[in-house]
Amino acid sequence: MQEMTLYRNFNELADDVLELAKEILPDQLLYLTTIEENQQMILRLSNDHQRIEIRAGQVFEMEKTLCRHINFEQNEPIWYESISDDERLEDMQDALKALQIESYLGIPISLTNGQTFGTLCAVHDEASQFEEKSIQLLQRIAKLFSYYLELEQFAWKDTLTQLYNRRYLTRQWETEQQHSGALFYLDLDGFKQVNDVYGHETGDQVLIDVARRLQDSTRSYEDAFSVRIGGDEFLIRFTRQMTKKEYERIAQQLLQKLGTWQTPYAVSTSIGIVLFDDETIKLKTIIQQADRALYAAKGDGKNTFRFADAISHGVQ
């Protein structure tokens, strides 16, 4: 959900989207949501409804929402005009009754690369009829909104791998009050040979697979995020301080995950790691130290990791 802070003028545009939607369905409570990691957050509402118990900032488990029934892959909306009379929703009727929701329309908001952003929803505390023309108009509004989201993401996401880019890393660093944790600098071993022998299309697929593996490896660390610097170079930023042994364990897991390929080609990775706990340290300095450690790992035979000298008054 931290990505929401990166969209410029998001609240203003979201309110415009809801105002347009309100002209189509004036009697409905309309709201925008975002979906991430099997959770759905209410972002903005068209207005407060005295009876319906939905508020901005609420977070729901996706499996407990009506939006779970939306076909995001096909970008198809779903609607229920009388929830209490719908046998398909028997397991949810008590929860929806507590929220005072009797009718629901959910429009998916998806990007052209297939990424799910969230939904544009309309609810009412009484049964409703949703006309096909109204649904189509709301779909157009959601599509236009998705174009804005994509344009914004170009500024801070790598278009090939969908990892964050250097600009995002810099912005996060500038907003931190205290710089602590670790930076992993990764460079793929054997990637040039993949490009030379199998072509750049295969090389791009390797980078996409590596990005996916990095995200899988850091998913359990809420404070961590991965960055593609360029070419076959990546960073992982851990903002929570851990012991050196814990970082060693993570590095070993990364070497194994990035060095196992069921393909005619294979790559591995070398990693430079720097630990730090210093509010005055500059990002440029951290990256330089991690880069030196990376090339020490390369010099030691590749497919390994090396630590730089810690910048710290407390890292052990």
CA distances from 157 to 147, 168, 176 (A): 15, 7, 20
For the sheet with 78-80, list strands across it: 59-61, 39-45, 29-36, 116-124, 103-110, 78-80
Per the CB < 8 A criterion, the answer to whether 43 and 33 are in contact is yes
Contacts of 246 (CB under 8 A, 6+ apart): none
Percentage of the chain lying above the pLDDT 90 cut: 73
Residue 229 has phi, psi (to 5 degrees) of: -80, -40
Give the tens place of pLDDT for each residue, 133-162: 999 999 999 999 999 988 888 888 998 999
Angle between helices 244-258 and 200-218 (to 10 degrees): 150
CA distance 34 to 39: 8
Q: How many CA atoms lie within 13 A of 110 on its CB side?
A: 16
Asked if residue 1 has pLDDT above 80, the reply is no
Tokens of 20: 């347009």
Asked if residue 313 has pLDDT above 50, the reply is no
Asked if residue 166 has pLDDT above 70, the reply is yes
Asked if residue 315 has pLDDT above 80, the reply is no
CA distance 176 to 169: 11
Per the CB < 8 A criterion, the answer to whether 189 and 303 are in contact is yes
Asked if residue 223 has pLDDT above 80, the reply is yes
Q: How confident is the model at residue 31 (pLDDT cuts 50, 70, 90)?
A: very high
Determine the Cα angle at 262 with ends 256 and 263, to 5°. Answer: 120
- In angstroms, how far is CA 241 from the centroid of its own chain? 22
Which one is predicted more confidently, 9 or 198? 198
Average pLDDT score over the chain:
91
Over residues 101-106, mean pLDDT: 96
Domains of the chain: 2-153 (3.30.450.40), 166-307 (3.30.70.270)
Query: Mean pLDDT: which of 145-154, 168-177, 181-190 is highest?
Result: 181-190
Percentage of the chain lying above the pLDDT 70 cut: 95
In the DSSP assignment, the letter for residue 28 is S
Q: What sign does the dihedral 159-161-162-166 (CA atoms) show?
A: negative
- Shortest CA distance to 273 belongs to which of 142, 181, 204, 198? 181
Please give the full DSSP string across 101-151, using - where no structure is assigned.
Answer: --EEEEEEEE-TTS-EEEEEEEEESS-----HHHHHHHHHHHHHHHHHHHH
Tokens of 129: 């009829």
Q: What are the helix (H) ranges across 226-282?
A: 244-258
Radius of gyration from C-alpha coordinates of the chain:
23
Contacts of 108 (CB under 8 A, 6+ apart): 70, 71, 72, 75, 76, 77, 116, 119, 142
Give the containing element (helix H, strand E) for 239.
none
pLDDT, residue 187, reads: 97
> pTM of the full predicted structure?
0.73
Q: Please, what is the end-to-end C-alpha distance for the chain in angstroms?
A: 31
Which one is predicted more confidently, 257 or 313? 257
